[in-house]
Amino acid sequence: QVQLVESGGGLVQAGDSLRLSCAASGRTFSNNAMGWFRQTPGKDRDIVAAINADGSSTYYADSVKGRFTISRDNAKNTVYLQMNSLKPEDTAVYFCAATGGASYYYRRRQNYDYWGRGTQVTVSS
């Protein structure tokens, strides 16, 4: 059974940092692109960052560019999201996702086949 499990969320103050982790099990994702999405109540699930299979190419939403960094450790089957200079508008549930077979990332959530259950990030002002 394939599972993606996020961890590292929490309540922090504006300006603080958090590091999210997404551990995959049930299969290896070393040949698959992965991404982080976030969602607030009543809103769509939007992409935050994505990374291709070997980690050589990344994508960031404009709202997080320069503050967030996505990385992966294929030996550990894990992807990370380092979030610095957090703002209240970063408050959301953050989801990890993986493509079913594509090595290059996509920006649309419809292209991702595997999803974690999410981890809450709350940034107070």
Calculate mean pLDDT across residues 107-124: 96
Residue-wise pLDDT tens digits, 8-57: 999 999 999 999 999 999 999 999 999 999 999 999 999 999 999 999 99
List Cβ neighbours of 63 (8 Å cut-off, separation of 6 or more).
89
Give residue-wise pLDDT tens across range 67-109.
Answer: 999 999 999 999 999 999 999 999 999 999 999 988 898 999 9
pLDDT at 6: 98
